[in-house]
Amino acid sequence: MSNQAINSDSILRQIKARLSLRAPQAESLNILDFLRKNLPLTKDADPAAALATIGGTYSAVTDFERDFPSLCFALATGVGKTRLMGAFISYLFMAGKSRHFFVLAPNTTIYEKLIGDFTPGNEKYVFKGIAEVALAAPVIITGETWDKSGLMLDSAERNNGMVVNIFNVDKINKDGGRIKKLHEYIGQSYFDYLAELPDLVLLMDEAHRYRGKAGWKAVGELHPILGLELTATPRSVGARGERFKNVIFDYSLGQAMADGFVKEPAVATRENFRADSVTEDMLQRIKLEDGIHCHEFVKAELEIYAQQTGRKRVHPFMLVVAQDTTHAEEVRQIIEADDFFGGRYKGRVIRVDSGTTAEDADEATARLLALEDSTDTDIVIHVNKLKEGWDVRNLYTIVPLKAFASEILTEQTLGRGLR
């Protein structure tokens, strides 16, 4: 690369300060510094030799689980995985190790969120304050713009600039496979162009989603020099999920709560209450009513806090976890009925699941995106739709009306309310 790498200690200090990295993020960046200094990170590098080198310092890493060096950084929800992603990219670019990055998202929601986070001017812009990156005018190429990327790539090559590709798995494996077909401007398919880059670094958001066949194949064929995996739940999906063998840093939800990076949860209970003394329908209504009481208490406390401090008023909402789409609709009808708190919540409920119509889903999505600033919604009902990639800070009450099938689902749902 023509970029002149400056002292890595200076780079680390600058990035940590400018991005205001928290301790677990800073330690993760230190580990990346170790990897850059101790691994060859080239296309022809021997993964077995790299694994032996890493294992000598980080004994928990026993297998990359890929055909290339790939390490998992497990950070609890709410600690800041996306910001860490920006720090990783900034470090490798400023250290002169790579200009080309591929950020992989597991679904459309996270994909669109990442595009926003990598867009200058966004409130959560991942390179905010990093002058070296701003001056290089990073080129962002997405699943919608890759086939028009010729001139953008030319500009990046002339200026030795950074190129960040943001895709989700479907943009590679589906969409007619267009990314693997001939791109006339570059003389080969865009996928082959990426796979041949000598410095491509792959970053995988919600890394637990890439153990399936489709995700695994998409990742492997890119042949990156390094994989950086980020997840809050470093286990394969399912009731018997197995822990990853390539976790190089693990910062749990319990540690995040102890260190004050996320809210501490409390379980609301009734004194001397026996669940077997009532019917299932009655128990469900009791849970919903108790949830509403907690929700209204929090709302009142936040209102008082805003008045006393002069700070912006926070409008809280309650998350209800339903069993399936039919149950979700039943719960919505209960909450919006006239005999439920006098019909106070009619029109103030969002239902998000695979059973909603396209029109309703669009409206629900718009309301979800506005949740932190709008006062129009009090309750969100979902069925495994908001497990990950949905970042809000005003969720205070969770009412689970189903038993969680796995530890991953439990932690993901709980994590929605701890930011």
Q: What is the pLDDT of residue 6?
A: 54
Q: What is the pLDDT of residue 357?
A: 56
Three-state secondary-structure class, residue 207:
helix
- Dist CA 120 CA 134 (whole Å): 9
CB 207 within 8 A of CB 230: yes
**pLDDT grade, residue 5 (50/70/90)?**
very low
Mean pLDDT of 335-356: 87
**pLDDT grade, residue 269 (50/70/90)?**
confident
- Dist CA 280 CA 282 (whole Å): 5
Has residue 400 got a pLDDT over 50? yes
- Dist CA 288 CA 400 (whole Å): 9
Has residue 291 got a pLDDT over 80? yes
Q: What is the pLDDT of residue 405?
A: 45
Residues in Cβ contact with 269 at an 8 Å cutoff, skipping those fewer than 6 apart: none
CB 142 within 8 A of CB 87: no
- 30-34, 159-163, 265-269, 346-350: which range is least confident on average? 265-269
Place of tokens 């995106």: 369
Say how far residue 310 (Cα) sits from the centre of its chain: 32
CB 334 within 8 A of CB 397: no
Q: What is the phi-psi region of residue 198: left when phi exceeds 0, alpha when psi lies from -120 to 50, beta otherwise? A: alpha
Q: What is the phi-psi region of residue 263: left when phi exceeds 0, alpha when psi lies from -120 to 50, beta otherwise? A: beta
Q: Return the number of other C-beta atoms located less than 10 Å from residue 24's C-beta.
A: 23
Q: Return the number of other C-beta atoms located less than 10 Å from residue 288's C-beta.
A: 20
Tell me the range of 126-135, 196-205, 305-314 where mean pLDDT is highest. Answer: 196-205
Q: What is the pLDDT of residue 16?
A: 96
Q: Which of 98, 121, 180, 109 is nearest to 147 (CA)?
A: 180
Has residue 214 got a pLDDT over 70? no
pLDDT digit string, tens, across residues 14-48: 999 999 999 999 999 999 999 999 999 999 999 99
**pLDDT grade, residue 209 (50/70/90)?**
confident
Q: What is the pLDDT of residue 204?
A: 93
- Dist CA 174 CA 363 (whole Å): 26
Q: What is the pLDDT of residue 390?
A: 56
**In this predicted model, which residue has the larger pLDDT, 334 or 368?**
334
pLDDT digit string, tens, across residues 185-204: 667 888 899 999 999 999 99
**pLDDT grade, residue 408 (50/70/90)?**
very low
Q: What is the pLDDT of residue 198?
A: 95
Q: Where are the alpha helices (DSSP H) in 209-349?
A: 213-220, 253-258, 280-309, 325-335
Query: Angle, nearest 10°, between helix axes 81-94 and 23-38?
Result: 40
- 72-76, 133-137, 182-186, 317-321: which range is least confident on average? 182-186
Has residue 295 got a pLDDT over 50? yes
Task: Locate 138 and state its tokens.
Answer: 């990073």
CB 15 within 8 A of CB 130: yes
pLDDT digit string, tens, across residues 57-102: 999 999 999 889 999 999 988 888 999 999 999 999 999 999 999 9
**In this predicted model, which residue has the larger pLDDT, 391 or 119?**
119
Please give the model's pTM, rounded to 2 decimal places.
0.75
Has residue 299 got a pLDDT over 80? yes
Task: Locate 334 and state its tokens.
Answer: 């209960």
Has residue 168 got a pLDDT over 50? yes
- High-pLDDT (> 90) share of the chain, %: 45
